[in-house]
């Protein structure tokens, strides 16, 4: 079977920036981040300049907060120390009330390298690694979808000696921290792919050769250079801005395959977002070192009228990859009253994955399906209208349409799938609570009680018949969240949801 393969650079650029209505950034650091010695730190500090640079890149609205504190070290920002970390979390909690991505930009290490100073004793590289890891671990735990950018500390002169003692020895220790930041990025590539990045690595050398970018300060060992002047903060802000831009542009490597379910498939580039005419499967493979052999094929929702490919599709890739689970997003065709059309695309996707199972190191007996809203109806249709070995081994359903009963279904999905006046026979056929048997694959369902679009009764009906047929089931019902929360940080129970889904995936 001939399949065309296309890596969509144009589509990727759309995917990267479409989410970016708001970018929320928190800067963590010391006096350089804070902007001491400047006339107006609020407007002139490196964070302010980084935000200004990013605004010029036309990626959306930028909101930032400066959590830099003069004289502070990795020790001061340790979660366990309960000193400055609570300020960071309070600030993050404030910003996460906004839609958009959350990014932490961190530059710590200058004061850790001081022979005498606020840290009391110079930190060795391993302890610097341990402290930074503790900070990042807690940020990832509290804000599961955030990104963290780790910037190298900035150069300072070998004559730096004010209230703290740095000198050449401190500068040498500072450089010894650089490989530790690289090790942190390597570590998180396997556990949290796409979330932790080695940020700026160029500013150190640039500032070392441009002392005119610093404020000349009088110290105990003569004139020293530690804090950038306004020209310096503008340049440093650009370095940090570029590092943040790289982080938000990053997306896991994927390959896009067209599905062979139409006689003459149009170019995928002509149908980027909705999948109405060009069915395709975007495949992400985990690092071979942690690959489990499991795979999930996701079906975004959209009322059988369009596809919410980001928060119900592509945005899930880092979560599954971090667990060693291969992940794919199917852009299926819209039914326009013919339910056989999207069903054929799902069938082809599963067949295609099984054909490539050996190549991709996927266990053909451990492939599950995931669907959201109308995509949840399609996923539950495939789970209940097929039998092993064709059927998925498990199903993950987010606020799914289940029934076609007009009293409980989503009217738009029903009309788009079955037409204006479907018969009772076809209505019953695609009311998937009526299709459950003892062979139906195990299920994980989640709803918000205040969902006004797809009533949670869809889930209750499905859960009841799954239970009657002794099919293993996990059902989550949160008090609020509405419809369509998907992978969005704005969902108040996202942390609990992700934790429960992780436990469920590990339970079999």
pLDDT in tens, 330-385: 999 999 999 999 999 999 999 999 999 999 999 999 999 999 999 999 999 999 99
Q: Which of 12-26, 241-255, 306-320, 441-455 has the lowest mean pLDDT?
A: 12-26
Tokens read off for 229 = 């002047």
Q: What is the 3-state secondary structure (H, E, C) of 131-190?
A: HHHHHHHHHHHHCCCCEEEECCCCCCCCCCECCCECHHHHHHHHHHCHHHHHHHHHHHHH
Calpha distance 255→284 (Å, rounded)? 7
- What mean pLDDT do residues 285-302 have? 95
pLDDT at 100: 84
- In order of start, what are the domains of the chain with their CATH numbers? 19-249 (3.40.50.1110), 284-506 (3.40.50.1820)
Calpha distance 231→50 (Å, rounded)? 13
Among candidate residues 291, 283, 286, 278, the one with its CA nearest the CA of residue 255: 283
CB of 483 closer than 8 Å to CB of 453: yes
Sign of CA dihedral 297, 301, 307, 312: negative
Calpha distance 321→314 (Å, rounded)? 12
pLDDT at 253: 87
CB of 258 closer than 8 Å to CB of 4: yes
> What's the whole-model pTM score?
0.70
- 392-403: burial string, b at 16+ Cβ within 10 Å, e else: bbbbbbbbbbbb
pLDDT at 223: 97
139: phi then psi, degrees, rounded to nearest 5: -65, -40
């Amino acid at each position: 079977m001939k399949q065309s393969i296309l890596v969509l650079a144009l589509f990727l650029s759309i995917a990267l920036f479409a989410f970016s209505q708001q970018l929320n950034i928190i800067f963590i650091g010391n006096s350089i981040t804070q902007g001491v010695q400047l006339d107006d730190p609020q407007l002139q500090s490196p964070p302010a300049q980084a935000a200004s640079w990013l605004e010029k890149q036309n990626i959306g609205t930028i909101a930032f907060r400066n959590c830099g504190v003069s004289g502070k070290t990795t020790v001061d920002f340790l979660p366990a120390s309960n000193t400055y970390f609570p300020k960071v979390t309070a600030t993050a909690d404030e910003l996460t009330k906004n839609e958009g991505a959350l990014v932490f930009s961190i530059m710590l290490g200058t004061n850790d390298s001081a022979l005498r100073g606020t840290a009391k004793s110079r930190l060795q590289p391993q302890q610097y690694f341990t402290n930074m890891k503790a900070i990042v671990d807690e940020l990832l735990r509290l804000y599961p979808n955030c990104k963290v950018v780790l910037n190298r500390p900035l150069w300072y002169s070998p004559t730096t000696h004010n209230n703290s003692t740095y000198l050449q020895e401190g500068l040498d220790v500072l450089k010894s921290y650089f490989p530790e930041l690289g090790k942190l990025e390597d570590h998180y590539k396997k556990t949290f792919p796409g979330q932790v990045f080695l940020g700026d690595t160029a500013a150190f050398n640039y500032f070392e050769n441009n002392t005119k970018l610093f404020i000349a300060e009088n110290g105990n060992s003569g004139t020293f250079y530690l804090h950038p002047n306004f020209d310096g903060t503008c340049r440093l802000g650009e370095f940090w801005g570029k590092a943040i831009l790289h982080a938000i542009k990053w997306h896991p490597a994927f390959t896009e395959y067209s599905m062979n379910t139409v006689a003459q498939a149009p170019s995928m580039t002509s149908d980027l977002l909705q999948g109405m005419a060009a069915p395709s499967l975007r495949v992400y493979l985990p690092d071979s070192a942690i690959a489990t052999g499991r795979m999930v094929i996701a079906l975004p929702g959209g009322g059988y009228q369009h596809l919410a490919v980001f928060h119900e599709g592509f945005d899930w890739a880092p979560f599954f990859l971090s667990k060693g689970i291969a992940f794919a997003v199917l852009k299926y065709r819209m039914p326009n009253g013919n339910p056989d059309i999207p069903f054929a695309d799902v069938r082809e996707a599963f067949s295609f994955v099984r054909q490539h199972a050996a190549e991709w190191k996927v266990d053909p007996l451990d492939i599950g399906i995931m669907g959201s809203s109308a995509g949840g109806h399609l996923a539950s249709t495939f789970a209940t209208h097929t039998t092993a070995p064709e059927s998925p081994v498990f199903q993950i359903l987010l606020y799914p349409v289940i029934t076609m009963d007009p009293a409980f279904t989503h009217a738009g999905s029903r009309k788009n799938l079955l037409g204006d006046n479907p018969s009772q026979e076809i209505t019953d056929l695609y009311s998937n609570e009526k299709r459950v048997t003892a062979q139906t694959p195990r299920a994980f369902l989640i709803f918000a009680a205040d969902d006004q679009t797809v009533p949670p009764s869809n889930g209750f009906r499905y859960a009841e018949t799954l239970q009657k047929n002794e099919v293993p089931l996990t059902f989550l019902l949160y008090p609020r969240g509405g419809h369509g929360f998907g992978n969005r940080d704005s969902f108040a129970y996202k942390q609990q949801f992700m934790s429960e889904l992780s436990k469920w995936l590990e339970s079999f």
